């Protein structure tokens, strides 16, 4: 388990700049993720195709997603009830895929919410993150140690993020029986 820092961005250019700042500061791309809506109803053709490790997106944010796809080791495009269409790049894609494939829906949360919950993000934050994505926002995530999160928070605080929050991992510890003093 690792801690996660999540920053909310309203502009795709600010989210992309934050990813590039984090990578430039030495964060491995496998520790970074970005989530945002994949498309909106438009009058033009919307979609994407993949050829090997290259992806071409069409639509209003095609250039943004296409450029970022090349930076990340993996990603996915899917439609999630409640939230809508999502593009997820980075290690969070595997977490979301697990939630979708295993129907891990927790307490009425969407698949996105269930994936965030599985990482230790509290319910009130999940609802705020889902609302941000539904309102065309972007979530930039950094996964790592407590020391990594301190560095990530400093970098993201200096960006154009609307909000930056560190979520410590939640590890269930076995309960130990209490010992009465003799």
pLDDT at 176: 38
Half-sphere exposure of 169 (CA within 13 A, CB side): 12
Question: Mind listing the pLDDT tens digit of every residue in the chain (182 residues)?
Answer: 689 999 999 998 999 999 999 999 999 988 999 998 865 444 443 444 444 555 555 455 555 555 666 667 667 777 777 777 777 888 787 887 777 766 555 566 788 888 898 888 998 999 999 999 999 899 999 999 999 999 999 999 999 999 999 999 865 444 334 344 43
pLDDT at 103: 56
Distance from C-alpha of 75 to C-alpha of 58, rounded to nearest angstrom: 16
Domain boundaries, the chain: 3-167
Distances from the Cα of 6 to the Cα of 33, 116, 140, angstroms: 9, 10, 6
* Token pair listed for 52: 């090997």
Cβ atoms of residues 118 and 170 within 8 Å:
no
Distance from C-alpha of 164 to C-alpha of 178, rounded to nearest angstrom: 39
Q: How far is CA 38 from the centre of its chain?
A: 13
pLDDT at 22: 97
């Amino acid at each position: 388990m690792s801690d996660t820092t999540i920053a909310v961005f309203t502009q795709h250019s600010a989210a992309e700049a934050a990813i590039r700042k984090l990578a430039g500061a030495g964060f491995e791309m496998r520790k970074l993720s970005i989530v945002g809506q994949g498309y909106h109803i438009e009058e033009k053709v919307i979609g994407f195709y993949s050829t090997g490790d290259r992806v071409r997106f069409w639509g209003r944010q095609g250039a943004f997603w296409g450029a970022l796809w090349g930076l990340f080791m993996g990603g996915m495009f899917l439609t999630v009830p409640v939230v809508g269409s999502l593009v997820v790049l980075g290690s969070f894609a595997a977490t979301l895929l697990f939630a979708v494939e295993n129907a891990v829906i927790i307490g009425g949360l969407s698949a996105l919410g269930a994936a965030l919950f599985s990482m230790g993000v509290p319910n009130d934050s999940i609802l705020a993150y889902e609302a941000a994505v539904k309102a065309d926002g972007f979530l930039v995530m950094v996964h790592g140690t407590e020391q990594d999160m301190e560095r990530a928070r400093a970098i993201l605080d200096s960006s154009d993020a609307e909000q930056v929050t560190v979520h410590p991992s939640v590890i269930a510890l076995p309960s130990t029986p209490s010992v009465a003093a003799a």
